[in-house]
Each structure stands twice: as C-alpha cells, then as structure tokens.
Amino acid sequence: MPPVHDLLGIGIGPFNLSLAALCDGVPGLRALFLDAKPDFSWHPGLLLDGTTLQVPFLADLVTMVDPTSPWSYLNYLREHDRMFPFFFSERFHIPRREYDHYCRWVAGRLPSCRFDARVTELAWDEGAEAFAVTYRSAAGGAARVLARQVVLGVGTQPVVPEPLLPLLTGGGGHRGRGLGDAGHRGRVLHSADYRAHRAELAGLDDVTVIGAGQSGAEVVLDLLRQQPVGPRDGAAAGPYVRWLARTPAFAPMEYSKIGLEHFTPDYIRYFRGLPERRREQLVREQWQLYKGVSEETLAAIHDELYERTVGGTEPRTALHPGVAVVEAEPLPDGGGYRLVCLHTERDERFEVRTAAIVSATGYAAVRPAFLEPLSKLVDWDGKGRYRIDADYRVALAPHVSGGLYVQNAELHTHGVSAPDLTLGAWRAATILNAVAGRRVLRLPERAAWTTFGVPGE
C-alpha cells in the first residue's frame, strides 16, 4: 500500500500554491500538490506589458498570515537582489508579470509541488480510510496516491455569452474558450487567450470586446494603443475598437479603505449567516467589488481617446454600456460576424458587424471530471453546488472520515472574496489549521472596523 499523505492538493494556482507554501516546514505534515501543466503559469493570455495586480504586494502567497515565511514576495526580491530597486520604485501594486515570476519561483522550489501530473480520478477508499487519487504524467505514466485530506484548487474556467458558444466550438475549440470556426479561426476568443492572438487582432479592421471588467478594459486599452496618434501618413490605422458591456456603466472597482473591508474574515462570517437567496442577490449587486475596473486603467483609456482628438480627429472607438449580446452568427465568406445586441435600459435591439470578438466575460467554477467517482458521496445543494462550511470543508456522506476542501469555488457561500487574492493566504491558513486539527498559524479574531450585522450580535 502506498504511503498516506496528510494533505493532497489538486491544482497549483496561486491559492493552492499559497497552501503549499504555508505547509512547508510544518512538523509531521506530509503534503503533496499535483497539477497537469508542465510548470506554473498564471493567466498567460493576459500577461501584457504595463498591467499590474489589483491588490497590493502584501497579498502575496503568505504575508497576510505569516510575514516571516521564506516564501514572501519581499524575500523573493531579496533572493533576486532587487530590494533596492523595488524600494526606490515606491510600488504598492506590482506588475502582473512579476507576480507570475514570483509564483514560478516559489513553485519551482517547493518539494511538495509536482507538475505534469494530471489527476484522472478522485475516489474514497473504504479499506484505507483515505482518498485515492489517480494521476498521469507524460514521463511516468499512471500513479496512485492516498491522502486523508484533499484540497481542490483547480481554478475556474472561462465563460462566454451563450450566443457565442457555437462560434468558439465549431473548429475544435473547447466550450467557453478557444478558437473560432475554420473560416474565422482565431477571431472569436476568450480574453484568457488574448495574448496568443494579439498580433492578428491588431491587424484587423474592427474588433469588438465584450465585458466591462478589468480584463476587458486591458484588452480595449491594448488595442487602442495599436492605433497611431496624430496624422497617419499612410501608417496602419489599427483596429476600430468597440467595447460592449451588460453593466450600466464602465465603472471603477470599489477601492475605498472602508469598502475594502468586504474582503475580510469579518464580512465572510456575516455573509455566511445570511439566507441563501439574499447571498445570491448580494453577489449580483456587489459586482463593483470584484468585477469593476481599476481607476488607473479607466484613466489610461480616457487619455488614449483624448490624444486622438487633437487636431479635430475622432478616435476609432465606441463604448456601449448596458448592452447584452443576444444573437451571433458568422457572415458569409469569412467576412466577420453579425451581433444582435439589446440595449437593456431602452429595451431596443441593434446590430453590430465586426471582424473579431474578444469575450472578456469572466470565469466560473466547474465540477472537475475526476470528481465523478466521489460525486455520490458529496452533499450537493439544490443547484448542484458544494455545501461548504466555515473552514472551506465540503459536506460529504457521514461515513467518509476524510476531509474534502475547496478554494475559489465558494462564491455562493462565502461571498465576493472567493476569487480575490487578498484573502488567499488567510483561506489557505484556515484550511491548514483545519487539516492539522490544531492552530498551526494564528489568525485574527477581528480584521474590520465595520460591523456588518446587528450591533451586539
């Protein structure tokens, strides 16, 4: 019988990497983390020059719960002899490319992280009283390991409006992401794949970006910068950039000091105590907490448009909030696409013709296929979602003695902080304490000035 791990993480994104970093050096804890990719990568399709994290550098993998950890961002700077340049740059929000490099540095040095390990099955082994995890690697074939506790950190999958799905899947792309049909290959894609098709899109006449979040804004800004400023003198004009969004405005992310207290354990505790219907309503209403755009990016877009009005010219751009795409079809002979749009406030339809579509419409948690052998032991809620307790433990059948935990699949139970990096280390520490059955890391009793519930509760 193979040795039994105390903890096994499936998926090595920032959240499970945070858990792996916090587990490192814990006496007596045998941990293993598996990921299908050949090495760590974080949103490679949006690692554009000049983009920054939307959270401060202190929201790294460990600092918010253990600033003494060797896996902190500051220690990463020290190890790369970049502490003085960072100090003089006076940065609070670091480049996205640097955050990716920092995570690669951590993942490449943690012995518990194993890449090229695609999990194919997760089941409960009654005899061993442990989870049985089967995985495959290109180098070593199939393998099977046992673990008393499993943490799912498989991330989320790109989603697109329903009318665009046939355009994504017609040429072999996968649902919710990928290339267009054979006649329009590479011209309908999710923003997760933008960087791979950036050069092609920049050479088209007309590109439509859908979605008013940070990703959509960054794609719009990057495409705008392909347009020349001032007289063209025969230079390439760059694409006409059209920005569509369902939200009533292209609005900034809530970033006030008190507003940010929604990203604290205090708010999670309050949110968890609300009725399910109210929780779901709040998630929709609080879109500016986690789907808004940074003020800097909105300002940069405005500045690009302003520069293009010098001398009486008009920017080759259109911004349309409050618009939903209700129909989409390819035009004949590979001539682009026809979109039928609905202006939601006026309840009027109009058409758009465009050469390419970038759907910056976010991500959603999905049930991984490898979970199927365990699915009958999971206590799903009425909508087929995990029931998750305060320690991020999934409700399982009573006879299952092991613990199954999730990261970034709890928007419906824990609120808008689920996908945010701010509470990543805190959540990982909460899971670690629960897995260990003791306080490995001290967590604050109170973190917010705001009282979210009734005073005195």
Retrieve residue 401's tokens: 């003695």
pLDDT values of the chain reduced to their tens digit, one per residue, 457 residues: 678 999 999 999 999 999 999 999 999 999 999 999 999 999 998 899 889 999 999 999 999 999 999 999 999 999 999 999 999 999 999 999 999 999 999 999 999 999 999 999 999 999 999 999 999 999 878 999 999 999 999 999 999 999 999 998 543 333 333 433 434 445 899 999 999 999 999 999 999 999 999 999 999 999 999 988 765 555 557 899 999 999 999 999 998 999 999 999 999 999 999 999 999 999 999 999 988 999 999 999 999 999 988 887 888 999 999 999 999 999 987 789 999 999 999 999 999 999 999 999 999 999 999 999 999 999 999 999 999 999 999 999 999 999 999 999 999 999 999 999 999 999 999 999 999 999 999 999 999 999 999 997 7
The reported pLDDT for the residue numbered 1 is 65
The reported pLDDT for the residue numbered 176 is 36
DSSP letters, 351-369, are EEEESEEEE---EE----G
What is the SS3 assignment for 161? coil
| Residues 143, 54 contacting (CB under 8 angstroms) | no
Q: Between the CA atoms of 82, 86, 89 and 94, what dihedral angle is there, to the nearest 10 degrees?
A: 120
The reported pLDDT for the residue numbered 333 is 78
In 163-274, beta strands by DSSP E: 188-190, 206-210, 240-244
Q: What distance in Å separates the CA atoms of residue 5 and residue 107, rounded to the nearest whole number?
A: 19
Q: Which domains does the chain have, with CATH numbers?
A: 5-154+366-436 (3.50.50.60), 159-252+291-359 (3.50.50.60)
The reported pLDDT for the residue numbered 274 is 97
| Residues 259, 443 contacting (CB under 8 angstroms) | no
Order the strands of the 356-359 sheet from edge to edge: 188-190, 356-359, 206-210, 240-244, 317-320
